[in-house]
Amino acid sequence: MKQPDSLNRPTRRTLLRSGLAAGALLASPLGALAAAPLGFDRWRDGFRATAMAKGISEATWNRVMGHVEPDMSVFNQIGNQPEFSEEIWQYVNRRVSDWRIIAGKEALRKHEALFARIEKDYGVERGTLLALWGVESAFGDPLVQQNHMRPVFPSLAALAWNAPRRKAYWKSELINALRIVERGWSTPEEMRGSWAGAMGHTQWMPEVWLNVGIDYDHDGRVSPFGKPDDALGSTARYLVDRGKYHRGEHWGYEVRAPGSASSGNRSYAAWASAGVSRADGQPFLQPNASAKLWIPVQGGPAFLLGPNFYSVRSYNPSMNYALAICHLGDRILGAPPFLQPFPGSERALTLAEVQEMQVRLTRAGFDTGGTDGRVGNDTMKAVRDYQVRMGLEPADGYGGLKVLARLRQGG
């Protein structure tokens, strides 16, 4: 449901206004944003005819776009993708965190019936959906929506008007967002999301909302907000329809592979005959299903990846993202960490260690935005600022064992 990584929103978002303020910003010129650059008003006036031709009523246009100003900060976000600026083990550790594993188990307990229904209807494993939900919105935490999302119409208007590339795409998504309001499925005030316009529990783009979203809770509208039923049911449908998810198959396995193992797509049985075995020693559950061998880093863990791994990758076209989602789903359901570590990696901090790091950083004058054990944008910035002050290289914002050890030294 995402943009390609070069256009996707960053994993952690800039702190934004409350929902009440969002409504005011949409209703009047955005005082907190830069004034509209020369040319936007003329573009908006011209785009009105396009919207009318696409079936947007004058009432909806005036309500949404009549006074909107472009959110110019979106242009600083384009290309700021953590998938391409972190070591793979850091990327996975940040997302497969103790907090997400614990919260994921609680989310499953609370919504057991919903996940059972989705598995029956679509065949998508609950672990995969739990992990997507946890990474995309911290399991629907309202504080994520309130503090880290922005009104989507100023963002989409800016991109449709003056994105450096793919303007046609952004114009289409702005029209799609207007259609959502036109249908009465949502309001401009409710439609808060990432800088690229992804919204709700599992971060839907407007096109997905319109064309893949389903009214899974039967309340008369399709919505990624509020109850998670529509978001999770629709995400399962997305994985099946657009990701070609295979019912009843696991995404893949960590494996032990001899140096002579070749690439290519073959059955698990054929891989076993070639000397590839599951790292945990268990048999492959579906020997006739197909998989590809992937070794992300020489000397690190190796994986056999089935079609459902690539189904997850269709949601966000990053191998690192898909691996983090699939592994987090396994961990929530009780699986251990990878048995073979990545070269040069650290184990992930426990929840208590993350909280300790946050407390120590806060005492040292670095604002982590809280000490609840969740590593968000504020904590990452605090770590990076601490690394810079202490001369720790690389100053990458990764809060791991080395940073915690230095903090314990009182440095």
DSSP state of 335: P
Alpha-carbon torsion angle 347, 351, 352, 357, nearest 10: 70
Superfamily of domain 19-80+147-213: Bacterial muramidase (1.10.8.350)
Whole-prediction pTM value? 0.87
386: Cα separation from own chain's centroid: 26
- Closest to 342 (Cα-Cα) out of 123, 67, 68, 91: 91
Sequence spans of domains, the chain: 19-80+147-213, 252-305, 351-408
The alpha carbon of residue 5 and the mean position of all alpha carbons in its chain are separated, in whole angstroms, by 11
- Each of the 411 residues of the chain gets a pLDDT tens digit; together they read 554 333 333 332 222 222 222 333 333 333 334 455 669 999 999 999 999 999 999 999 999 999 999 999 888 887 654 444 689 999 999 999 999 999 999 999 999 999 999 999 999 999 999 999 999 999 998 777 676 789 999 999 999 999 888 899 999 999 999 999 999 999 999 999 999 999 999 999 999 999 999 999 999 999 999 999 999 999 999 999 999 999 999 999 999 998 877 778 999 999 999 999 999 999 999 999 999 999 999 999 999 999 999 999 999 999 999 999 999 999 999 999 999 999 999 999 999 999 999 999 999 999 998 899 999 888 999 999 999 999 999 899 999 999 999 999 986
| Contacts of range 163-171, beta carbons closer than 8 Å, 24 or more positions apart | 163/75, 163/78, 164/75, 164/78, 166/7, 171/47, 171/50
The Cα-based distances of 88 to 132, 136, 218, 341, 382 in angstroms read 18, 18, 40, 11, 21
Half-sphere exposure of 19 (CA within 13 A, CB side): 11
